[in-house]
Each structure stands twice: as structure tokens, then as C-alpha cells.
């Protein structure tokens, strides 16, 4: 059995402010330790359920270099660094049997939700066939493209509600309750790790019963971009057009795999400063 654990940071217990999630910021190093501990709890749960499982952890926050390699459970492998194929889902393929989202957050515009956003500040919204989707939805749909169900998510109450709306069968661990964009009531980190451990084991054992978030092709995608300059750059991509509103671009992808990669590319374009 192959299992992918995609780990973000905004949904980790105790993390509530942007400076805690950015390298060099106040308490970022503490956040790295908290994130690594939650990842290890998920690894332990997976291997409790299936001791022979092949477990790959994809560091999926910011620079993709946050999880502390020397402290990761030695039974797992770690994907880190960027850019890379499939971004937050590095290592996903047709052999993957289950995906776990650890430390995830709600999409841009959700609220109250801790550190809610979609991929980066360059993106205001993404709509797949007219349905708004953040990282949870996009990554779950991409996992489904490879027939891998998302069996577990840990994060704040908004993130848990978001995945339940998309995939009712996913097991969730609510590590904190949002009071706002940068405030929450959080569980103790050790309690969170205990809960993630138990939930991961349970989720893996019932993986076959979790439905896929399948998005059949062709896929119509609309992306609201923060910067008009990014819209101008996006016009250089074949098949991408301006949509109404001035900040929106649209394209039709053959399938969810192509749609996911193009959204990644638009995100990277949004980080380019105009000359």
C-alpha cells in the first residue's frame, strides 16, 4: 500500500499568525517542530494500520522546506523543495492508494477561518466548473485523478467543514476553532498528535469506503488573480483568455491533471514582479 501525506502549516495546532508560517518570522521555528510532530503522528497511524505501507510525506507549505528532516519518522520518505511536479502532492501517482492532508486550511474567502487563502496571495479564487475550490478541493480532485481518496484531514473547524462538504466520508481532526483570520482556540499539541495518530489509523483501515472527488474532463477553470500584471502574463499561455471583471482568466483543460498544472503555473506567474 502506498500512502501520501501532504503537510501544510496554517492548519497546525497553535499556529495562528502569518509570521509564524514564514521563514525568519516570529515563532516560525516552533511552527516547524509542531508541523513535524503532526506529520509523525500521521505516519505512525498509517503504519499502525498497515505496517508494510510505503509512506511518502510531501512538505507542502510555502517554500516546501519546513518539515525537519532529521526529526521525521525514519520509516517515511520526505519530498521537499520547489518547484516540482504536482506541487503540494509531490509523489502522487497511479500507485497511490490513499492521501492524508495534515495541517490544511480553508480556501480564500472562508470565514471565520485561520489563515484562509488559496495557494498564495496572488490568487483570489479558483472555480472548477463554476464551483469555488481552495487547496483542499484542488488537491482532492487531483488525488481523485489518480484514483486516490483523501481519507483524512487535520486543520481548523473551517477546513474540516470544507472537506466534509466536498467528501462526506473523509475522517477529520479539528485541531483548533477559528475566532478569525489570525486567532483561534487550539488544542494542546500533544493531544492533537494523539488524535491524528488514532484518526490516521482509522482512516487507512476504511480507505476503500471513501469516495473520490472526481472531476470529469473537459474542465472549465476560472482564476481570479490579485494583480492585473499577472493577467497580462497569463495571456502568453496558449488557451488562456481574459474573462469578465479584469482580474479573471479562464481556460478549458482536457482533464483535472492539466487544470491543476495550469493553476500552479498561474500561481508562479503571480509571484513575478513586473519590470
Q: Considering its fold, how many domains does the chain have in total?
A: 2
The answer to whether residue 157 scores a pLDDT higher than 90 is: yes
The answer to whether residue 216 scores a pLDDT higher than 70 is: yes
How many Cα atoms occupy the beta-carbon half-sphere of 114 within 13 Å?
32
Same domain flag for 108 and 143: yes
The answer to whether residue 274 scores a pLDDT higher than 80 is: no
Confidence class of residue 67 from pLDDT cuts 50, 70 and 90?
A: very high
Q: pTM of this prediction?
A: 0.97
Find the catalytic residue in 17, 61, 105, 117: 117
β-pair partners for 4: 56, 99
Question: Coil, strand, or helix at residue 125?
Answer: strand
Please report the pLDDT score of residue 173 as a whole number.
98
With cell 484542488, the residue in question is: 138
Grid cell at residue 61: 507549505
- 42: CATH: 3.40.50.10780
Same domain flag for 229 and 205: no
Confidence class of residue 244 from pLDDT cuts 50, 70 and 90?
A: confident
117 is known as an active-site residue: yes
Confidence class of residue 275 from pLDDT cuts 50, 70 and 90?
A: low
pLDDT, tens digit (0-9, with 9 covering 90-100), for 220-241:
999 999 999 999 999 999 999 9
Same domain flag for 8 and 108: yes
Amino acid at each position: 500500500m502506498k500512502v501520501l501525506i501532504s503537510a501544510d502549516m496554517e492548519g497546525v495546532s497553535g499556529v495562528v499568525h502569518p509570521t509564524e508560517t514564514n521563514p525568519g518570522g516570529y515563532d516560525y521555528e516552533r511552527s516547524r517542530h509542531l508541523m513535524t510532530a503532526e506529520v509523525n503522528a500521521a505516519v505512525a497511524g498509517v503504519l499502525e494500520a498497515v505496517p508494510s505501507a510505503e509512506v511518502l510525506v510531501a512538505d507542502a507549505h510555502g517554500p516546501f522546506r519546513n518539515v525537519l528532516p532529521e526529526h521525521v519518522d525514519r520509516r517515511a520518505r520526505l519530498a521537499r523543495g520547489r518547484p516540482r511536479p504536482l506541487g503540494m502532492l509531490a509523489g502522487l501517482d497511479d500507485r497511490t492508494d490513499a492521501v492524508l492532508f495534515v495541517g490544511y486550511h480553508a480556501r480564500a474567502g472562508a470565514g471565520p477561518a485561520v489563515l484562509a487563502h488559496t495557494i498564495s496571495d496572488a490568487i483570489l479564487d479558483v472555480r472548477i466548473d463554476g464551483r469555488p475550490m481552495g487547496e483542499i478541493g484542488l488537491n482532492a480532485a487531483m488525488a481523485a485523478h489518480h484514483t486516490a481518496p483523501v481519507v483524512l484531514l487535520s486543520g481548523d473547524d473551517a477546513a474540516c467543514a470544507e472537506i466534509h462538504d466536498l467528501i462526506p466520508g473523509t475522517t477529520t481532526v479539528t485541531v483548533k476553532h477559528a475566532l478569525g483570520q489570525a486567532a483561534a482556540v487550539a488544542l494542546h499539541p500533544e493531544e492533537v498528535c494523539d488524535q491524528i495518530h488514532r484518526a490516521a489509523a482509522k482512516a487507512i483501515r476504511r480507505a476503500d469506503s471513501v469516495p473520490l472527488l472526481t472531476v470529469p474532463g473537459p474542465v472549465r477553470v476560472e482564476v481570479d488573480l490579485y494583480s492585473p500584471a499577472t493577467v497580462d502574463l497569463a495571456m502568453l499561455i496558449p488557451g488562456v483568455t481574459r474573462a469578465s471583471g479584469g482580474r479573471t482568466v479562464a481556460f478549458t483543460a482536457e482533464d483535472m491533471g492539466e487544470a491543476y498544472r495550469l493553476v500552479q503555473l498561474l500561481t508562479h506567474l503571480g509571484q513575478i514582479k513586473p519590470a
